[in-house]
């Protein structure tokens, strides 16, 4: 799950990047509003963690710009200003949630999971498809009541496919969502992960749509 972190404070940005990576996210970290706008106009993210007090372009202005171009990516706002009107303005401008500094890393991770879940129209925290049950918070996958051992990358890939169950997810989207700019992406890495997933899970779960991408669906 790839998230864009926009935070100008070096220590906090570094810590959030490390912490969210520990929680299983692929985190890209930018330090000003202009850079965030540039990144958001070309790439897609599962969620954006946005600080309000940003250099060059204010966080609220970035948010306004996003909603202005109908970008529905969930946005979690980080704010140190506890004045009510700041929160209200943030939510009015289209923020999905906010956390007040100083916050707990677990809380940020949990709220991000909830945002992504809601963005896909789900209300249950668990993703289920056929015999497969994926728990995003615990990062576990259970098949027929038995735990399936997955690598972090395999888990993220399955998570993405299950979030979009019944729809084709393009290769490009999968790669964008799985890898940060720092990750060196092998051209056939995706195929390798898909292959491993099919081996560990039900063979019929993930279907290849030639020339487009992959789709998760319950066996017919």
Residues lying near another protein in the complex (CB under 8 A) are found at 8-12, 14-16, 18-19, 22, 31-32, 53, 55-56, 78, 80-83, 100-106
Least spacing, CB of residue 53 vs another protein, in Å = 6
Say if CB 4 and CB 156 are below 8 A apart: no
Nearer Cβ to another protein, position 82 or 124? 82
- The set of residues, in sequence order, having a beta carbon less than 8 Å from that of 149 and lying 6+ positions away, is 200
Q: Which is nearer to another protein, 40 or 54 (CB)?
A: 54
Q: Which residues pair with 140 in a beta bridge?
A: 135
Return the beta strands (E) in the chain as ranges: 2-6, 26-30, 47-51, 75-79, 97-100, 127-129, 132-135, 140-143, 146-148, 168-170, 206-209, 213-216
Least distance CB 106 / another protein (angstroms) = 8
Here the contacts of 82-86 (C-beta below 8 Å, separation 24 or greater) are 86/52
Q: Looking at beta carbons only, is 18 or 209 nearer to another protein?
A: 18
Instruction: Choose between 55 and 68: whose C-beta lies nearer to another protein.
Output: 55
State the minimum distance, in angstroms, from the CB of residue 13 to another protein.
8
Place of tokens 């098949």: 143
Measured from the CB of residue 194, what is the shortest distance to another protein in angstroms? Answer: 26
């Amino acid at each position: 799950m790839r998230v864009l972190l926009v935070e100008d404070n070096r220590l906090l940005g570094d810590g959030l990047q490390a912490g969210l990576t520990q929680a299983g996210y692929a985190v890209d970290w930018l330090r000003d509003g202009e850079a965030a706008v540039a990144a958001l106009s070309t790439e897609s993210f599962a969620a954006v963690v946005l600080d309000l007090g940003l250099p060059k372009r204010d966080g609220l202005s970035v948010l306004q710009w996003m909603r202005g171009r109908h970008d529905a990516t969930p946005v979690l706002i980080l704010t140190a200003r506890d004045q009510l009107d700041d929160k209200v303005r943030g939510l009015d401008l289209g923020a999905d949630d906010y956390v007040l500094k100083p916050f707990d890393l677990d809380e940020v991770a949990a709220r991000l999971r909830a945002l992504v879940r809601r963005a896909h129209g789900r209300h249950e925290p668990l993703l289920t498809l056929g015999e497969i049950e994926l728990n995003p918070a615990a990062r576990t996958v259970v098949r027929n009541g038995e735990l399936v051992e997955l690598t972090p990358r395999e888990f993220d890939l399955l998570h993405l496919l299950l979030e979009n169950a019944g729809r084709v997810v393009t290769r490009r989207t999968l790669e964008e969502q799985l890898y940060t700019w720092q990750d060196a992406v092998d051209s056939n890495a995706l195929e390798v992960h898909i292959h491993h997933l099919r081996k560990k899970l039900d063979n019929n779960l993930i279907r290849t749509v030639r020339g487009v991408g992959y789709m998760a669906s319950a066996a017919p």
